[in-house]
């Protein structure tokens, strides 16, 4: 313990307690209002919907997720690679009113009607892609350059 007496500790906001009080108030609100449970339930609904739609439309997609950050990943088909399907997916989701890149970042503010909007867009998007794959027209409905994988952030 004598070594501890020789340590000097300081920082820019050393002694500032307002942020500590705000942190405690935030934690109390999150516990009182079951914030994480609500986010988890919304994510579970979204994950279940993605899983069911991927199965229904059979387009070579798998759902990759954690409790709080649902992601959809495409495996590709015999005729179309995963990057083309992902590019088309992103374009079709935007056309259906939902901006998505790699994950669905839900928050406490998202209500049932927001989740319904996303799941409806997922249904329309995956239906369109499935039809294009069956008819051999996925290249035609996909505009611009195809997404290229440049780095793998999450292994």
Q: How far apart are CA 21 and CA 5, in angstroms?
A: 28
Q: Which domains does the chain have, with CATH numbers?
A: 34-141 (3.90.1150.10)
- For residues 39 and 21, is the Cβ–Cβ distance under 8 A? no
The rounded Cα 96 to chain-centroid distance in angstroms is 17
pLDDT tens for the chain, 155 residues: list them.
566 677 766 666 666 788 889 999 999 999 999 999 999 899 888 888 888 998 899 887 776 666 677 888 888 888 999 999 999 999 999 999 999 887 888 899 999 999 999 999 999 999 999 999 999 999 999 999 998 877 766 65
pTM above 0.75, yes or no: yes
């Amino acid at each position: 313990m004598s070594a501890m007496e020789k340590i000097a500790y300081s920082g820019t906001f050393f002694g500032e307690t307002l942020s500590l009080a705000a942190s405690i108030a935030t934690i109390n609100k999150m516990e009182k209002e079951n914030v994480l449970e609500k986010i988890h339930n919304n994510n579970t609904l979204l994950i279940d919907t993605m899983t069911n739609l991927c199965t229904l439309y059979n387009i070579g997609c798998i759902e990759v997720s954690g409790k709080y950050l649902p992601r959809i990943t495409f495996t590709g088909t015999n005729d179309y690679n995963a990057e083309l399907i992902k590019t088309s997916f992103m374009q079709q989701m935007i056309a259906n009113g939902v901006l998505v890149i790699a994950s669905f970042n839900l928050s406490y503010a998202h209500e049932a009607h927001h989740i319904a909007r996303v799941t409806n867009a997922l249904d329309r998007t995956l239906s369109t892609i499935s039809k294009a794959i069956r008819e051999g027209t996925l290249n035609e409905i996909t505009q611009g350059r195809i997404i290229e994988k440049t780095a793998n952030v999450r292994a």
